[in-house]
Amino acid sequence: MAEVLGYILTLDAIITWAAASLVYKFALGKTQPKAGLYFRILMVTCSTFVLSLIFGNYEFFFVLGSQDVIFYIIVCAISGISVLVGDLFYFMSLDRIDASRAYPLTQLSLVFVYPFSFLFFGEEITISIVLGGILILSSVFLLSTKDKVDEEIDAETTMNPEKSKETLLIGILMAIGTAFFWAISIVSFNQARIISNDVFTTNFVRVLIGTMFFSVIALFKRDYFAAFKKDQKKQMKYYLYIGIAGALSLGLADTLFYMAADINGLVLTATITASTPMVQQILSIVILKEKVRIRFIIAVILIILGNLIIIFF
């Protein structure tokens, strides 16, 4: 029963992350990336604080020894700062490449989570998880590439092919950078969760520290405050969309993910969540009426096979 609950929580997180990515895709085109990120983390801070008051427990601060509390704060800081740096890279990546390519690439965080989990937590990496992970990551690469129709359209609409290639490369590198920082955040948060045994409070603490870090940076980079300027009044609803999506994604879905990791283990849970791009593609087809491509069908088959191997073998 515990394992089934872990799978349900994982599925909830996947659907929420996928839906939020569509909101970012829609709203970021009408806002400034850095301003959108900062407005988002302010709303996430508020939402995680409310969740921590309702479902969390701050008593562990008084039970833990001083060294444990210091270590807890350090790993929370690492998680909070790295997840927001990763988010910044992702937003900047979306500014250069489309979400259907950027988001799958961010799932390469799985490549980094495997060794981190093994080295720092001694988690078992079974053959079935490795084989399933390879199939899922293969689908990720497939979803992040464009077919001939897309390439022909890009060739016709691009005025400067060389500049387009450079922009594409930068966008891809930023998406991979996102994966790296998200992996660090995942592993460090898991360590903080183990210390506190409370995901809701830990999520708030790490987000609060990350927000404080970015607020200091924002004092010297005024573009982070662009959402609050008068000339952005018409775009405010799009910032709100980003903020609400962030509260549901970074605030709620991340918490569900770590609750699932507590039940089924970090490696297994992280491997299954690499299927998120498939859900995103399905939502894009249903909601945004995007075309169904052959590569998408093949990717779905690979993801289903990967998850079947992980769960049943």
Give burial (CB, 10 Å; 0-12/13-18/19+) of 56. Answer: buried
More confident: 219 or 85:
85
pLDDT at 224: 79
Q: In this model, does residue 163 exceed pLDDT 60? A: no
pLDDT at 288: 67
Q: Rounded to whole angstroms, how far apart are CA atoms 151 and 219?
A: 42
pLDDT-based confidence at 100, cuts 50/70/90?
A: low
Q: Rounded to whole angstroms, how far apart are CA atoms 313 and 303?
A: 15
**pLDDT tens per residue across span 263-310:** 888 878 888 887 887 788 788 778 767 676 777 777 777 777 877 777
Q: In this model, does residue 26 exceed pLDDT 90? A: no
Query: CA separation (Å) from 210 to 11, 91, 206, 307?
Result: 26, 16, 6, 33
**pLDDT tens per residue across span 284-294:** 778 767 676 77
| Helix axes 109-121 and 161-196, enclosed angle (nearest 10) | 30
Q: Which range has highest mean pLDDT (98-102, 123-127, 155-159, 244-248)?
A: 244-248
pLDDT-based confidence at 141, cuts 50/70/90?
A: confident
Mean pLDDT of the chain: 81
Cβ atoms within 10 A of the Cβ of 125, count?
16
CB 208 within 8 A of CB 42: no
pLDDT at 136: 76
pLDDT-based confidence at 158, cuts 50/70/90?
A: very low
More confident: 116 or 241:
241
Question: Rounded mean pLDDT of 14-34?
Answer: 83
More confident: 24 or 74:
74
pLDDT at 211: 92
pLDDT at 221: 78
Q: Which two tokens stand for residue 163?
A: 């500049």
